[in-house]
Amino acid sequence: MPEVKVAAKGAAKVAEPRFKRLTATDRAAELVEAGLAVLSAGGITAFTIDKICKKAGASRGLIGHHFGGKDGLLAACYSAAYAPLLRMLHGGGAPLPLPQLMDELFTDRQFRRESLTLWLALWGEIAVNPTLQAEHQRHYQAYETAMIRAITDFAQAKGRQADAPMLAATLIALLDGLWLELCIAPGVMSAQKGRRAVAALLEPHLGPLA
């Protein structure tokens, strides 16, 4: 709430600036962040220009200016939501080995309701929004490829034969399902249960993960 400073008669000629001027990139990033926050907290129905701009501390015209409209921001938010996942998969050059990957997925930082409700909001929209569906395909492919790679490498190291593409697709679906349960039944699902579920799927095919 930046109060307009009433300048005394002969006082400083430089009044408090009415707004902060950012580069287009920075402002876009702030709006995306606000969009994600709003989606997490209130789902897709809370994803409105008013709420997002208020959250970002910007005026209502900016979403149109930087993203061409609400849909543009939503697409940007979707990309931003995928970023941490992909960063984890090939975080810092070398791809993460499967056991560490599974550990990482179930840390308190990742397997958190507050982080995951975001996905529920997006999924519901992707299902009925062809533009977002295309966006999804692109990201999903990178995700799947990395997962196949992790499984293939692990199986090879253990000297096991495994249908890595099939296991990867199954694992991805299982993870999505576990995230879903955590979001809609918070008391029931837990990281420990999630870990056990993943082990129940993978260990018969790949041997012990730990």
Could you tell me which stretch among 7-15, 18-26, 37-45, 96-104 binds a second copy (CB under 8 A)? 37-45
Encoded tokens for 180: 């879903």
Contact flag: residue 49 with a second copy (CB under 8 A): no
Residues of this chain that bind DNA (CB under 7 A): 15, 17-24, 27, 47-51, 58-66, 69-71
**Residue 18 binding result from a second copy, DNA, none, given CB thresholds of 5 to 8 Å by partner type:** DNA
The C-alpha angle with vertex 90 and arms to 102 and 24, in degrees rounded to 5, equals 120
- Residue 105's CB: how many other CB atoms inside 10 A? 20
Contact flag: residue 41 with a second copy (CB under 8 A): yes
**Residue 60 binding result from a second copy, DNA, none, given CB thresholds of 5 to 8 Å by partner type:** DNA
Q: Which long-range contacts (CB under 8 A, 24 or more apart) does 89-93 make?
A: 89/142, 89/143, 89/146, 89/147, 89/150, 90/146
- Name which of 28 and 148 has its Cβ closer to a second copy: 148
Contact flag: residue 206 with a second copy (CB under 8 A): no
Q: Which long-range contacts (CB under 8 A, 24 or more apart) does 58-62 make?
A: 58/27, 58/30, 58/31, 59/19, 62/27, 62/31
**Residue 123 binding result from DNA, a second copy, none, given CB thresholds of 5 to 8 Å by partner type:** a second copy
Please give the residue ranges that form the binding site for a second copy (CB under 8 A). 41-46, 117, 120-121, 123-129, 133, 136-137, 140, 163, 166-167, 169-170, 172-178, 180-181, 183-186, 188, 193, 196-197, 200-201, 204-205
